[in-house]
Structure 1
Amino acid sequence: MTRSAVARIDAVRAIEDEIGVLVRRLKRAIAERAHAIHRDLQGASYLILGWLAENGPVRASAIVEVFGMDKGSLSRQLQHLEELGLVERTPDPADGRATLVSASAEAVRRLAEVDQERRVSLNDRLSDWSVDELEAFARQLGHYNRSLD
């Protein structure tokens, strides 16, 4: 194997290692944010709730498609979110037999607070990065994500 090929494999391995650290950090951060919304909210439900706040009201089938989960699992999560007062269901005006799901006004308010706190915290922790470095990292991360689609 050439020196260049070995260097490339080492670089890919380093990326995998750093992505592993990032995933662990994200799981912890998602759990913390979920608890900031409601002490009984789970991380997976937090992600669904955030998506609903941005994209709702929608049919449950849209959530199943976006998150790649089975209907039964989603149904249980939506029931739990509804019990916590974070999700509302309304009849679909286009089809009276169907239901639309949306984040409650309280959930939207809490999500906005948590998002603001997160951005302030992240900005503080990255205070030694220049705007150029932040923009370059965002571009590189975007390029990485598009390459894996």
Structure 2
Amino acid sequence: MEAAADRDATEFDHAIEVLEEQTSVLWRRERTTSHALAKNVHPEMEPAAYGILTLLQREGSLRATDIATSIGVGKPSVSRQLAGLERLGLVSRQLDPSDARSQRVLLTARGRQQLAAAQAGRRTAFTTLMRSWDPEDVETLGLLIARLNSTYKKDTW
């Protein structure tokens, strides 16, 4: 019984090593992709701002503090990114109807259009890249990545 537990622990440790290595490669590639996607949205947009746009696309309008909390960065960083996105005409601010002391940030029509175009390009690239995969494998990968992402919401580091 103890030998089986040791073998299971060793197999789990090896699986974690493989996962760490492969996610490192994936995240490096994703950083490169995010840089390119940001430039597809607008040539002057900073790569870090892409995540803000996708968050606004998903959530609608948010306060800057909520954006900072959602993406895990400080409010000064978000404020700087928002100022740049506003300057590029991709986001705008409006008074918060529930609290006139604060503002909500939302995508402009131009921001929605340019983000959607960049995302369509990304989907086309994924389709080309994964055309040889079985559709069930693609779906399983998506589900497992979603599970990994939900686990990160619980992280303590």
| TM > 0.5 | yes
Alpha-carbon distance in structure 2 between the residues aligned to 1:93 and 1:145: 32
- Whether 2:76 is the aligned partner of 1:72: answer yes
- Whether 2:32 is the aligned partner of 1:28: answer yes
Alpha-carbon distance in structure 1 between the residues aligned to 2:148 and 2:56: 26
Alpha-carbon distance in structure 1 between the residues aligned to 2:121 and 2:32: 16
One-letter code of the match for 2:28?
R
Given candidates 76, 79, 90, the residue that maps to 2:94 is 90
The residue that corresponds to 2:146 in the other structure is 142
SS for the counterpart of 2:9 is helix
The residue that corresponds to 1:121 in the other structure is 125
The residue that corresponds to 1:63 in the other structure is 67
Q: Shift of the alpha carbon at 1:147?
A: 4.2
Unaligned runs of 5+ in 1: none
Percent identity, aligned pairs only? Answer: 31
Give the alignment's Cα RMSD to 1 decimal.
1.7
Comparing 138-147 and 25-34, the one that deviates more: 138-147
TM superposition score normalised by structure 1 = 0.90
Unaligned runs of 5+ in 2: none
Deviations 1:32-88 (A, max 9, x none): 000001111111111111211221222112112211222222111111111111111
